[in-house]
Amino acid sequence: MFCPQCGTEVWRSDNFCRTCGTALAGNAKYFPVGVGKFIFMNVITWNLYTLYWFWKNWRYIKERDRSSILPWARALFSQLWYYALLSDIRRHHTCGPSRLSAIALGAVPYFLTIFLGALPAPYWLLSVLAFVPLLPAVSQINLLNRRSLWSIRRNSQYRGWHLPSPR
């Protein structure tokens, strides 16, 4: 596969040309992952997968917009940057505004998950469910990326390092 702008050879998994930065048609706009895998990975990693998911999404945005954001910082402080991610999704999505407004309301419960770990025992165990307010955003990202189904399928597969993986 070659970049339509500069002709550089690119990998099928590339979202942007490494030489000129052109967005490659039909490729994912955000980091797509199946909802089932998102839930599974968050539960077994005690929500560390959420940081990875945010980091990947902010990297996609940084490459797409050629901005100078720091994806690792936005992932680390994801409770503060989740609404900004939802706003970016809203700018690129074509579904009705009421649906996206409802999704944006998920930013408030996700922000409040900061305090789940401070609850007395055994209620602090609820912090394992901190990813739940992110599920609508994961679904919307998959809808946005529906033209690049291969990337959703690839990121939704379980691999050896995801052990134990249900088959």
The burial class, CB within 10 Å (0-12 / 13-18 / 19+), for 137 is: buried
Instruction: Return the DSSP state at 151.
Output: H
Question: Which of 11-20, 70-79, 82-91, 93-102 has the highest mean predicted lDDT (pLDDT)?
Answer: 70-79
What is the domain count for the chain? Answer: 1
Instruction: State the Cα–Cα distance between residues 12 and 2, nearest whole angstrom.
Output: 9
78 in a structural domain = yes
- Residue ranges making up the domain that contains 137: 35-148
Q: What is the pLDDT of residue 112?
A: 86
Residue 2, strand partner residues: 9
67 in a structural domain = yes
Instruction: Tell me the two tokens of residue 153.
Output: 């399928």
82-116 pLDDT, tens digit each: 999 988 888 876 655 556 666 677 788 888 888 88
> What does the buried/exposed string (b/e) look like for 4-37 if buried means 16 or more CB atoms within 10 Å of the residue's CB?
eeeeeebeeebbbbeeeeebbeebbbbbbbbeeb
28-47 pLDDT, tens digit each: 788 889 899 999 999 999 99
96 in a structural domain = yes
